Amino acid sequence: MKRPPRLLRALAVLTGLLTAGALAAPAAAEHPEQAPTPFYNSVRGEDGCTLFETSGEASWPAVHPPEEHRVAVSGVAVIRDGSDGNPCLPVIPADRQIEFTGHVNDWAAVEHIVPMPLGSADQTYAFDLVAPGGAPIEYVTMKICQERRADGSEWLGRCGPNIVIEQGAASEHCTFTADVTGQWGTGYAMQVTITAIEAIRDWHAIVALPGGQTLAHIWNATATRNGSELAIGPAPWNREIPAGGSAAFGFLVSGPYQAPPHLEVWADGHRCTEM
């Protein structure tokens, strides 16, 4: 049985549309989207008091060919007083810069620098790291350094800790618990316990106190007020935590208790997971 010419023409048009649609459909992503990896790093100036610090996140967006592989980085750079009430040396700290490096096959393939001149206000930054030829970046390193010499040369001690930022590595380094151990009409007490999944060289915590609340006392840690936040650092005896070990600190807050304050713990540039 012969098909009517009109049906043949309709089938031809439909076939053409399906073929064109298949050709126009976007290619599948080469790797699935994953949650961003948070990071933190800090270094003290030559006076022992000025604190250069940065925090943010890096993500590896899904790639649809012919798009290039990239790492999207965003964060904030802050310069603040980190004296914690201790005396400062009578020197002016050098300017700093944040150096991000993308690595391909353990080779430093691409670098991006965020300046941190002394006296500058808090600044936000956002950029993409793209390796030559669009090669996939396996991991990113980040450090806060003094500026290189005019000839581009470096020297020992120019930079602080070198933090490794890896895809999907947000919760593999450490965990913490935060418990309200007592409360009364004019205040409350909290204890925070940090557990190291991997060995920790340094840690800090950020506590956002609601309005009307102030820090009354802290133990096994140091604290600096930064606006509405408390920047909490380790005591000399619990700065380093061996793998599988833990360290605890606590504090008293004056003011009406409503709910536990927002609290973050960071260790070696990794954000710890609250349990």
Are 84 and 114 members of one domain?
Answer: yes
CATH assignment at residue 208: 2.60.40.290
Q: Closest by alpha carbon to 70, among 170, 159, 138?
A: 138
CB 177 within 8 Å of CB 247:
no
**pLDDT tens digits for range 198-242:** 888 888 888 888 878 889 999 999 887 766 678 888 998 999 999
| Residue 147 domain-assigned (yes or no) | yes
Measured in degrees and rounded to the nearest 5, phi and psi for residue 123 equal -135, 145
HSE on the CB side for 199, CA within 13 Å? 3
Contacts (Cβ under 8 Å, ≥6 apart) of 264? 205, 206, 271, 272
The backbone torsions φ and ψ at residue 254, rounded to the nearest 5 degrees and listed phi first, read -95, 135
Is residue 29 a part of any domain in this protein? no
Model confidence over 87-143: pLDDT tens digits?
Answer: 889 999 999 999 999 999 889 999 999 999 999 989 999 999 999 988 999 999 999
**Residue where one domain finishes, among candidates 147, 166, 185:** 166
214 Cβ neighbours under 8 A, 6+ residues apart: 253, 254, 255
The total domain count for the chain is: 2
Return the pLDDT at 202. 85
Domain encompassing residue 261:
174-274
CATH number of the domain within which 106 lies: 2.60.40.2550
- Domain co-membership, 52 together with 148: yes
User: 51 and 152 in one domain?
Assistant: yes
Same-domain check for residues 140 and 203:
no
Say whether both 148 and 197 belong to one domain.
Answer: no
Which run of H or E residues covers position 234? Answer: strand 229-234
The verdict on 180 and 202 lying in the same domain is yes
pLDDT tens digits along 9-67: 443 443 454 444 444 444 444 555 678 888 888 888 898 889 899 999 999 988 777 78
- DSSP annotation string for 78-140: EEEE--TT----SSPPPPEEEEEEEEETTEEEEEEEEEE-TTPPPEEEEEEE--GGGPPP-EE
In a domain, 21, yes or no: no
> Do both 43 and 130 map to the same domain?
yes
Q: Using alpha carbons, select from 228, 181, 180, 224 the residue that is nearest to residue 204.
A: 224
Residue 23, domain member (yes or no): no
pLDDT band at 86 (very low <50, low <70, confident <90, very high): confident
Amino acid (one-letter) located at 144: I
Residues 45 and 153 in one domain: yes
Whether residue 202 lies inside any domain: the answer is: yes
CA dist 82 and 226 (Å) reads 9
pLDDT digits (tens, 9 = 90+) for 234-268: 998 999 999 999 999 999 999 888 888 888 898 87
Residues 74 and 132 placed together within one structural domain of the fold: yes
**Residue 225 domain flag:** yes
Residue 155 lies in a domain: yes
